[in-house]
Amino acid sequence: MKKKTAATGKEVFSKSLQHAIMADRLNVELDLPKLGKQDVEDLQAILSGKKVPTFEVDMKRAINALTRSDRSAASAKLLTSILSDEQQPSKARSLAALNLSVFPLEKTEATLIGHLDSKDRLVQAAAIRSLGRAGSSKALDALQRLTISDERVRKQLSFATSAIEFRTKSSGKRSSDDLGESLGVGWNDFAAKTIKGAEVRKSIDQIWGATYGIELNPEVAMEFQCGNLKHSVFLNKAFKKGAFTKAIQSEKMIAGLVALDEDSHLTIRYVLLSVPTKDGASLAVARTDGDVLYTGETTSGRGGLDFKIRDVGLSGAPLEVNGTLKDDDVEVSFRVWQNSPVRKKRGVSIEA
């Protein structure tokens, strides 16, 4: 976000100001000190166009330097003018909007509210975020009248309205007392269906490919629908009727396989691993390529071993699996993220 300038006259600026706002500087902004009075006045003149330096100014660094160094009405007015100037780059305007959140509310709120319907999505999102940081009940009313189609901005809007509600103790037009729902967190809850006997054996016969060297329990399995995809969960044959909990606590094993229904056949997609622990078992679900996607554990519960498994890997949608392993049956329920999934990134090692 750089603004090119041309020299006019022989304006002289201090080294501290140049270091703070020059485009070719690599200093980390957080390490820079506040500017002195004269530097602030010069910077205000530069940003207002009254003075034009001979060097290239980085607008981001300049706006941040002003906010860091001076919280006067004059600086608030200057940032307001940058925000309202449609000739300014979107990034400069949105940064001005964000920085206005640290100035006295009576100097900034009306302007920020006025930009909530901006056609510039960066500016609109920044105004929402800034009001979330500092807005009053007046801002809350304006925010709750907004209709946002962009999912990322909509999440910011949900968070901003909640932040104002909690800060001002105002309920506004809150649609739900569920915190997750009010923040735009979307979960879909459903349970797996148990299948038994001949239906299980028919499904096992439809599996193409290896079953990882284990025989599958021909009497009990589960099915669940995730979106348009039907999955089947098969247990290791080591799970004998009347002794399921004993089996999982007896030895480390491939406890089960999860297959995807491909219309004419089933394909193994996930492998369930278990290791006995003092209180039950440690669980992990891996893809067939070796990526571990979910881990969890069992705990003693009424009528069996309760278990909880959560996503830890590169899965596209967060998932939580809860259930109870009984001696002759398994109850399983799912909570799946129903908003747009974001693929997780791998960590990068740092060597010192």
Say if CB 78 and CB 111 are below 8 A apart.
Answer: no
CA-to-CA separations, 230 to 14, 225, 233, 317, 338, in angstroms, rounded: 68, 5, 10, 16, 17
At residue 47, the pLDDT reads 96
Does the pLDDT of residue 352 top 50, yes or no? no
Instruction: Give the global pTM.
Output: 0.62
Does the pLDDT of residue 2 top 80, yes or no? no
Mean per-residue pLDDT, 228-252: 93
DSSP label of 22: B
Does the pLDDT of residue 3 top 70, yes or no? no
Residue 342's CB is within 10 A of a number of other CB atoms, namely: 10
Does the pLDDT of residue 4 top 50, yes or no? no
- Residues 196 and 219: their CA atoms lie apart, in Å, by 5
DSSP label of 101: G
- Residues 160 and 147: their CA atoms lie apart, in Å, by 14
Question: Using a CB cutoff of 8 Å and minimum separation of 24, what contacts does 253-256 make?
Answer: 253/214, 254/212, 254/213, 254/214, 255/283
One-letter amino acid at 244 equals F
Does the pLDDT of residue 28 top 90, yes or no? no
- Over pLDDT 70: what percentage of the chain? 85
Mean per-residue pLDDT, 199-206: 96
Q: Is the dihedral of CA 174, 176, 182, 186 positive or negative?
A: negative
- Residues 207 and 221: their CA atoms lie apart, in Å, by 14
DSSP letter string, 321-348: EEEEE-SS-EEEEEEEE-S---PPPPP-
At residue 155, the pLDDT reads 85
Identify the helix (H) or strand (E) that includes residue 99.
helix 90-99
Nearest to 295 by CA among 316, 315, 268: 315
Does the pLDDT of residue 350 top 90, yes or no? no
Residue identified by tokens 């044959």 is: 237
At residue 38, the pLDDT reads 96
- Residues 19 and 24: their CA atoms lie apart, in Å, by 9
Three-state DSSP state, 227: coil
At residue 276, the pLDDT reads 94
Least confident span in 8-12, 211-215, 313-317, 339-343: 339-343
Mean per-residue pLDDT, 197-203: 96
Task: Tell me the pLDDT tens digit for each residue of 104-163.
Answer: 999 999 999 999 999 999 999 999 999 999 999 999 999 999 998 888 898 899 889 989
Phi, psi of 245 (to 5 degrees): -65, -35
One-letter amino acid at 319 equals L
Residue identified by tokens 């693929």 is: 343
- Name beta bridge partners: 143: none
